[in-house]
Structure 1
Amino acid sequence: MPDTEPVAEPFTDPRQQHRAAMMGMYVFLGSEIMLFGALFCVAAAMRMAHSAEIVHASHALHFGIGGMNTAILLTSSLLVALGVESAQTGQAGSSARRFAGASMLGLAFLALKAYEYRLEFAEGLLPVPGIEARYDTSIQHLFMNLYLSATALHAAHLAVGILLLLLLSFQTARGAIALPQRSIVLVVAGLYWHLVDVVWVFLYPVFYLAR
């Protein structure tokens, strides 16, 4: 953390301001972890109580598409990590390009997920009005409700992250964010993006690989 970081009220020391910013971000990330953690707990309870039905429902999901999206998000996390490193060394152009690249991968994820939803809608998998569901039991229907809720919530978080990365990429490229003095802004954005990626890393096996 650079000692030349601008200090805003009520802080008097750049290190104190840095620690406060990181603490605030950790509290926010903790609340997000509790949100998705509740969904994972429900999924785990369903798996233990109705293993055979959950496995049967999971087999209908397109695990290949989910696997491609996993690779896309992991690559985007690498770009964000490199972008943060560039920001901390004052390489504004490199940081802006890497953040922009990560946001493009995020858009690719959403496009692929939308295509997957379309396939699932056509196959009667999504629990939405207007289609003839192909569920055998109410437990499978509940599993797909949980799948749709969890993945849609994740997609909403990812969309917020994409907008954030694009905004920071633009501001960094035009010099509106002084680097490395204000690299903390990109650091906390990177933490949010990594959280979204980690959530998907858990969502993928919980829903797609329930074997």
Structure 2
Amino acid sequence: MKIDKTLPLEYSTQQNQLNILGFWIFLGAEIMLFGTLFAGYFVLFDRTGNGPTGAEIFEIVPVLFETFILLTSSFTIGLAIHAMRNGNKKLTITFFIITLLLGIGFLGFEVSEFVHYVHIGAGLQTSAFTAVLLTTLGTHGAHVTFGTFWGLLIILQLKKRGLTPETTNKSFIFSLYWHFLDVVWIFIFSFIYLKGMV
């Protein structure tokens, strides 16, 4: 395996560069997935039938907490990659752990939100609006859940193998995934919650 020492470690081999390119292509497919969910939401958001509207069920305070937590986790994963590029394994792992704890906190708020929606009668079968809302939020939440387990596996590899071309490549690709989830959440916050509260 030929290593190019002029590049950051995560880009230092041809395989690593191909892995990153492949992941960008994967993110393109993810954009299509969420784009489809958003399109469905925009078509169905006023199809509430006898169920509640967004203005009746959305609460700004929990949503602001979710947003703050997830955007903070984007910052901490950025710090993890910065520490990784500086060769600081311990700090990289520390920021990875903080990122995952914030992700778990976000999921806690989201589960609480789902329970609240179902409790007030806004379930999957209530209306087209609640069905597409819960599907969109649930898909994002499932991605965060997957990311939490993925990040945990990377932490274990970093602890065992250190900062190698392979582990730094995996860590960098994970950071791209995590930032992507934060960007999707900004769209959810802006076009589902804020628009729905009006």
TM-score normalised to structure 2 length: 0.84
User: Residues 74 and 178 of structure 2 are in contact (CA less than 8 Å); yes or no, is this contact kept in structure 1?
Assistant: yes
Greater helix share, structure number: 2
Q: Aligned Cα RMSD in Å?
A: 2.5
Number of aligned positions between the proteins? 187
1:38-72, Cα deviation, whole Å (9 max, x unpaired): 1112223345xx4999xx71112223211110110
Aligned to 2:190: 205
User: Residues 81 and 175 of structure 2 are in contact (CA less than 8 Å); yes or no, is this contact kept in structure 1?
Assistant: yes
1:155 aligns to 2:165 (yes or no): no
User: Residues 92 and 179 of structure 1 are in contact (CA less than 8 Å); yes or no, is this contact kept in structure 2?
Assistant: no
1:3-51, Cα deviation, whole Å (9 max, x unpaired): 259xxxxxxx94532321111010111111100011112223345xx49
Aligned to 2:74: 77
Aligned-partner residue type, residue 136 of structure 2: A
Corresponding residue to 2:20 among 4, 22, 26 = 22
Q: Which moved more, 1:180-189 or 1:18-27?
A: 180-189
Structure 1 unaligned spans of 5+:
6-12, 134-140
1:196 aligns to 2:185 (yes or no): no
CA distance in 2, matches of 1:87, 1:14: 14
Q: 1:120 to 1:182 in 2, by over 3 A?
A: closer
CA distance in 1, matches of 2:173, 2:47: 39
Over the matched positions of the two proteins, sequence identity in percent amounts to: 28
CA distance in 2, matches of 1:83, 1:102: 9
Structure 2 unaligned spans of 5+:
none
User: Residues 4 and 181 of structure 1 are in contact (CA less than 8 Å); yes or no, is this contact kept in structure 2?
Assistant: no
CA distance in 1, matches of 2:94, 2:141: 23
Q: 1:93 to 1:204 in 2, by over 3 A?
A: same
